[in-house]
Each structure stands twice: as C-alpha cells, then as structure tokens.
Amino acid sequence: MTVKFKKLNASCHCGSIRFSIDLDKPLSEIVRCNCSICSRSKGFGMLCTPEQNVTIVEGFESVTEYVFNTTEAPHYFCIICGTHTHHKSRNSPNKICINVACIEDFNIADYKGAIKNFDGVNHPRDL
C-alpha cells in the first residue's frame, strides 16, 4: 500500500475540469520539454506521476483528447477554455504528466532547483 504524502488539487482555467494528484513523496522534479506541443502550449513545466495517483474529480465530459505523431502520448485539453491539463507520458507510459500551471497555489519559483529539461525534439524513443 502506498502512503500518501500530500494531495494537490488542480483545474483548467475555467474550472470545468477538476482533478486531484496524490503525491507519495515530496515534489522533487518538474519537467520542461522542448517538443513542439510542449514548447507551444505549456512550456512552463509538468509534474509526472504514476497514473493511479491522478483522479478527475469533476468535468470528465469537458476533457478532449489530442493525439499526434506517434500516437503514444495523448494530450488532454478542456473543450471550453482550451487549457492543456495533462498527458500520458510517452517516455514512461505508466505516468501522467500534469501541467503545473493547473495546480492550485503552485508557484514555479519555489521549485527552481527541481526543474529538469527534457529534449523532446530528440526523444530517446525516436532514436
């Protein structure tokens, strides 16, 4: 059984989609990716966590999926406000990556030392 360290609440801009993230340890890494979709829609960062730690609490009907390129990492957006909320990790298929800007009371400045750059342009699974 996994012990919860902390529960985070998150939502899209308009609040139609609300979800929770159960952290099992302190947040130590925020991923910044330079692939085409990340650099254009959410270049500020993401928190990647096991899929079972993420629960859509409200607004599942407002979630739409966008699949591109290899189709291995669907990205999810709000159909009302357009916010990219999360996506399935291509690098770690058992993980969901949450747009950190969606997390309530989250200040990226508090995690400067935790930011890890990921070269999605030259994705390791493409080599």
The more confidently predicted of residues 3 and 4 is: 4
Q: What is the pLDDT of residues 49-62, one digit of tens each?
A: 999 999 999 999 99
Name the nearest CA neighbour of 22 among 3, 43, 39: 3
What pLDDT score does 1 carry?
Answer: 46
- Would you give the distance in Å from CA 75 to the centre of its chain? 9
- C-alpha distances in Å from residue 23, one per residue of 7, 8, 51, 55: 6, 8, 11, 12
Strand order in the sheet with 46-50: 63-66, 75-78, 84-88, 95-99, 46-50, 30-33, 115-118
Q: So what CATH class is 6-120?
A: mainly beta
Angstrom distance (rounded) from CA 66 to CA 74: 6
pTM of the predicted protein model:
0.81
Residue 83 has pLDDT above 60, yes or no: yes
